[in-house]
Amino acid sequence: MDRTAWPYRNALLMAPMAGVSDAAYRIIARSHGAALAYSEMVSVAGLHYGSDKTWDLLVPNDAEPDLAVQLFGADPSQFREATAAVARRLGNRLALIDINMACPVPKVTKGGAGAALLDEPTIAAEIVRACRAGLDDAGSDVAVTAKIRRGRRTDEEVAPFFAQALEQAGASAIAIHGRYASQLYRGEADWGCVRRVTEAVGVPVIGSGDVFSHDDALRMLEETGCATVMVARGTYGNPWVFSGHEPTTKERIDAFARHVRLLDQTGAHMARARSLAGWYFKGMPGAASLRGEAVRCSNANEFLSLAERALVIARAGSDVQPEECE
């Protein structure tokens, strides 16, 4: 992709989510209309030291057309090395390199990574340039983007100025989450900050924060002027957020079962299906009981049996018509 191009205007993207956005999750999202899906955030230090577990996070499954890889760290030289290695390994299946400058978790920020970079615009700009150089080293022309927050501490908004520094360093797009890092995920995301960043830079802006429905995404596009919307927690048990389709109970149960099969096929740890059960079954008849049963499941067959039980409970509650189950 030409580094100056942004082919995802007015599109919805599946956000990078630690412990969530594995290959199965990404395949589900893409099949429901996500224009792009991101890896979990990947440590450049882990890649520097050749960790196989780190590489497992960013190698796309055969069913994925491409993958946006999100990197985190604090050392520009490691970013250059990691970016070149990722570009060489993924080749034309690398959609873009994204730099995490938003994660508020202390174990990330204490090392100067994630949202800690909001206090270090000079270093952040060096990291963008390092990623661009790493891609040049590998002969790749994909975009370098960054995900930021409103600021690190409440009432200290730095996002518009910070985004300008990243643009000048060579970022092709900026994703902005409208909360301060100190808020974690409490309170409301300030979409006004998304608009302020959009007005401050000339590159496309990706809006993020409190997008829980397709209508929310459309409203963010309209109210902020951002080019694209990134959906994170709004995807939990709801891949239809990308299309706006309102699923039936049977469709939700079927999607859970498909997700379980994909976890199994992609070699993911099946414990992840416990969270999926809570998300997909939320608000359904017997949801609390089903969540309790999910905690005791340990393999794909047990989770698929749980899906069958969920359908039986739904039918008994007249929420699903018998002919839907044929």
Which has the closest alpha carbon to 28: 301, 247, 286? Answer: 247
Q: What is the pLDDT of residue 53?
A: 85
Q: What is the pLDDT of residue 320?
A: 47
SS3 207: strand
Q: What is the pLDDT of residue 188?
A: 94
- The ranges of the chain with pLDDT < 70 are 1-4, 318-326
151 contacts: CB under 8 Å, gap ≥ 6: 118, 157, 158, 159, 180, 181
Residue 6 DSSP one-character state: -
187 contacts: CB under 8 Å, gap ≥ 6: 179
Q: Which residues is 149 bridged to in the sheet?
A: 177
127-173 pLDDT, tens digit each:
999 999 999 999 999 999 999 999 999 999 999 999 999 999 999 99
What backbone phi and psi angles, to 5 degrees, belong to 315?
-65, -40
Report the distance separating Cα 13 and Cα 233, nearest Å. 12
Question: Sheet containing 36-37: which strands, arranged edge to edge?
Answer: 36-37, 12-14, 228-231, 205-208, 173-180, 143-151, 94-101, 67-72, 42-43
Q: What is the pLDDT of residue 213?
A: 97
The percentage of the chain sitting over the pLDDT mark of 90, rounded to a whole number, equals 92
**Please, is 120 exposed, middle or buried when counting C-beta atoms within 10 Å of its C-beta (0-12, 13-18, 19+)?**
middle
Q: What is the pLDDT of residue 316?
A: 86
Cβ pair 281, 291 in contact under 8 A: yes
Q: What is the DSSP string of 92-107?
A: GGEEEEEEEE----HH
225-274 pLDDT, tens digit each:
999 999 999 999 999 999 999 999 999 999 999 999 999 999 999 999 99
Cα-based distances in Å from 253 to 18, 236, 280, 287: 24, 14, 7, 12
Q: What is the pLDDT of residue 318?
A: 53
Q: Which residues are catalytic?
A: 103
301 contacts: CB under 8 Å, gap ≥ 6: none
What is the pTM (predicted TM-score) of this model?
Answer: 0.93
